[in-house]
Amino acid sequence: QVQLQESGPGLVKPSQTLSLTCTVSGGSITSGSYYWSWIRQPAGKGLEWIGRIYATGTGSHNPSLKGRVIISVDTSKNRFSLKLRSVTATDTAVYYCAKEGPGGSFQYWGQGTLVTVSS
Amino acid sequence: EIVLTQSPGTLSLSPGERATLSCRASQSVSSTYLAWYQQKPGQAPRLLIFVASIRATGVPDRFSGTGSGTDFSLTISRLEPEDSAVYFCQQFGSSPPTFGGGTKVQIK
């Protein structure tokens, strides 16, 4: 069973870069034909897809984030990462990493990590 | 992007009752790319249904999904206390993938 675990700072200052890593266990990030995604959820609100990456490094991100997103993969460490530049208070949320499954669903999720943007 | 509108916002029902949750898309979504999730407080979402009607591993058969085009629904045939949660629909027929705003199911 694939397991995912997010890690990174829980507090980021406005205008700085949010950096998170998702470590995958129970399977190789290179196996199968599925993408690995980042999704976020502000407190009490809905879910927003941030972007995704394939093991080869191919990926895409949500245009709503206006190019502030960089997602990378490190197959040697079986993990992938998120960088979100120029953060503001509206980027405060629980950030999840997830493995995509059949039909573009998100089959496996990390437990989530709260990132607060505040000075 | 495709907007998913879920209704009702909140559903309050008794154990054993049937719950029907609606998810309406702003444009047609291939049923291949429609999923449903359950989220309990403090937890990550859990995949319930994918490809509109296929239950994920370990999901009880009281959960069922149906629909096509712009109208999809999730039915919980006989509510159990542990079904108290927020339920989200999600599409990936068109990028970016989007989620509905959620339906909160409360068990009386």
| Structure confidence at residue B18 (pLDDT) | 98
Is B44 in contact with A112 (Cβ distance < 8 A)? yes
| pLDDT score at B60 | 97
Average pLDDT over residues B94-103: 95
Res. B6: pLDDT tops 90: yes
pLDDT for the residue A9: 96
Distance, in Å, from the CA atom of A71 to the CA atom of A39, rounded to the nearest integer, reads 12
- Predicted confidence at residue A32, as pLDDT, reads 82
CA proximity to B47, closest of A81, A7, A100: A100
Instruction: Give the tokens for residue B105.
Output: 């199911």
Q: Choosing among A105, A108, A109, A111, which should be mutated to test the B contact, i.e. which has the most B CBs within 10 A?
A: A105
Structure-block tokens of residue B50:
């994918």
CB of B47 within 8 Å of a chain A CB? The answer is yes
Q: What's the pLDDT tens digit per position in B45-93?
A: 999 999 999 999 999 999 999 999 999 999 999 999 999 999 999 999 8
pLDDT digits (tens, 9 = 90+) for B28-56: 998 789 999 999 999 999 999 999 999 99
Q: Which residue of chain B is at minimal alpha-carbon distance from A101?
A: B50
Which ranges of chain A have pLDDT less than 70? none
Nearest to B96 among A63, A102, A109 (CB): A63
Radius of gyration of chain A (CA): 13
pLDDT of residue A66: 86
CB B4 within 8 A of CB B23: yes
The confidence score (pLDDT) of residue B28 equals: 94
Beta strand spans in A8-68 (E):
11-12, 18-25, 36-41, 48-53, 59-61
> Would you state the pLDDT for residue A31?
86
**B-chain residues within 8 Å CB-CB of A111?**
43-44
pLDDT tens track for A89-103: 999 999 999 999 998
